[in-house]
Amino acid sequence: MINVLVTGGAGFIGSNFVRYALQAHPDWHITNLDKLTYAGRMETLNDVIGHARHTFVHGDIADATVAAPLVKASDLVVHFAAETHVDRSILEAGEFIKTDVIGTFVLLEAARHASHLRAFVQISTDEVYGSVPAGSSVETDELKPRNPYSASKAGADRLAYSYWATYQVPVMITRASNNYGPFQFPEKVIPLFISNAIDNIPVPLYGEGLNVRDWLHVMDHCRGVDAVIERGTPGEVYNVGGSNEVRNVDLTHTLLRLAQRPESLIQRVQDRPGHDMRYSLDTTKLRKLGWAPRVPFDEGLRDTVSWYHENEWWWRPIKENDPSFRAYYQAQYGSRT
């Protein structure tokens, strides 16, 4: 068996990766280390929790007493765990520094002393390049993060690289664009707008809605990470993008059409401070490893809207019963709407 440590595997992308990897790699045993913050939920793992090749560990990546022995026992580490929501980082950045920077440092320190580690995949983000007015980011571009989330991710990205350059920890870094798909926490724009639309609640579009994001289906992201694990080179960075740039206003119209709700639900609200206008990735390098996104956006988005329609059991308790979500919604949107 190949021992794989997945961090953050109760979150959106991590849980999809666990599900994908259990199927794609019958010789992997996955240890899933997750702190179960507001964004990590056991019910997301309902279908894999009793799986013979999946062990869940409740713990903090920044706690070396828990995390270090797990890293040292691993052949592969796929590090997803992070604080991930830009708006929350603007409200309060402390947890982003603790988890995204210090948590990554704790894992890397343990990786230095891991005797049979073959790969440490640092899951980074296209946000580290900052806003891209024209053209597309290549992996060697300068990093210019512009919000506390992306700055903490850029710190982790370069810290991981430094452990390759200095200690030869077999680090590979992926920088993905905006993901969408099942089990995404309903604070991010697609699940927030779908679930609001289902309930006939206004969808709060920031500013003029002209900002552009490059949408990538979460399964295409999982396949991209897998391609890097299988065929990537230590010390290298790989962009994982959907090549699918959409303005927020156009995305919103499409979501409302798919949810069969009127455009009058669109509510223009005060913009996000420092809102990056556009992200765009050049994915030539990963495509050379044999990867390409497979899920067409119209199909993926239609399936995602259906998923939220059919899985209210998953998101409705978060939006209706979780006091921390209600407090966040009030802090983020109360004065905007």
211 forms part of the interface with ligand NAD (CB under 6 A): no
SS3 124: strand
* Residue closer to ligand NAD (CB basis): 12 or 291: 12
Contacted by 211, from ligand DAU, ligand NAD, none: CB < 5 to 8 Å by type? ligand DAU
Shortest CB 113 distance to ligand NAD, Å: 20
- The span from the CA of 199 to the CA of 102, in Å, is 39
60 forms part of the interface with ligand NAD (CB under 6 A): yes
| Pairing state between β 171-176 and 237-240 | parallel
* Residue closer to ligand DAU (CB basis): 8 or 170: 8
- Supply the angle between the helices 104-112 and 64-72 in degrees, to the nearest 10: 40
Residues marked as catalytic: 126-127, 149
Are residues 232 and 279 in contact, defined by beta-carbon separation less than 8 angstroms? no
107 forms part of the interface with ligand NAD (CB under 6 A): no
Q: Footprint of ligand NAD on residues 119-148 (CB under 6 A)? A: 123, 125
- Residues with Cβ within 8 Å of residue 124, at least 6 apart in sequence: 153, 154, 156, 157, 160, 173, 174, 175, 176, 237
Among 205, 218, 225, 227, binds ligand DAU (CB under 6 A): 205
DSSP state of 272: P
Among 34, 100, 127, 157, binds ligand DAU (CB under 6 A): 127
34 forms part of the interface with ligand DAU (CB under 6 A): no
Segment lying near ligand DAU (by CB under 6 A), choices 48-56, 84-92, 154-162, 220-228: 84-92
Among 177, 195, 244, 304, binds ligand DAU (CB under 6 A): 177
The end-to-end CA distance of the chain, in Å, is: 53
Are residues 229 and 243 in contact, defined by beta-carbon separation less than 8 angstroms? no
Residues that bind ligand NAD (rule: CB under 6 A) add up to a total of: 31
Segment lying near ligand NAD (by CB under 6 A), choices 81-89, 135-143, 162-170, 309-317: 81-89
- Residues with Cβ within 8 Å of residue 28, at least 6 apart in sequence: 1, 2, 4, 21, 22, 53, 76
206 forms part of the interface with ligand DAU (CB under 6 A): yes
Segment lying near ligand NAD (by CB under 6 A), choices 4-12, 19-27, 136-144, 262-270: 4-12
